[in-house]
Amino acid sequence: MEIELRLYGSSKILSDKDALKIELPNNSNIEQLREILSKIISKKHSKSNLKNLSKTAAFFSDKNEVVNDNYRLKDKESISIIPPIGGG
């Protein structure tokens, strides 16, 4: 299945676009998404400061709430990656 990962903050380094399409096995959850993300970062962005992003990021569902690692993703689902925040 494929999901759309909407990018914010430092995760925008992962693509020139606002979102990244990611292939995952059916019925994957957030924990598996973290693993795939970690691989993408080590392959293509090892020189960036994204090393810990797959562990420190939270994820928002379309209800704009943090979902936990057991959250099951659906095919074509759009989910937001929320790197560590710090406005003001």
Closer residue to another protein, CB minimum distance, 39 or 66: 66
CB contact at 8 A, 8 and 80? yes
DSSP one-letter code for 84: P
Among 28, 33, 79, 80, binds another protein (CB under 8 A): 80
| Binding residue (CB under 8 A) for another protein from 9, 15, 45, 77 | 9
Shortest Cβ distance from residue 6 to another protein (Å)? Answer: 8
Tokens describing residue 67: 């979902």
Is 43 among the residues that bind another protein (CB under 8 A)? no
27 near another protein, rule: CB under 8 A: no
Distance of closest approach, residue 24 Cβ to another protein, in angstroms: 19
What b/e readout covers 24-49, taking b as 16+ CB neighbours within 10 angstroms? beeebebeebbebbbebbeeeeeeee
Token pair, residue 13, equals 């380094």
Q: Which is nearer to another protein, 28 or 80 (by Cβ)?
A: 80
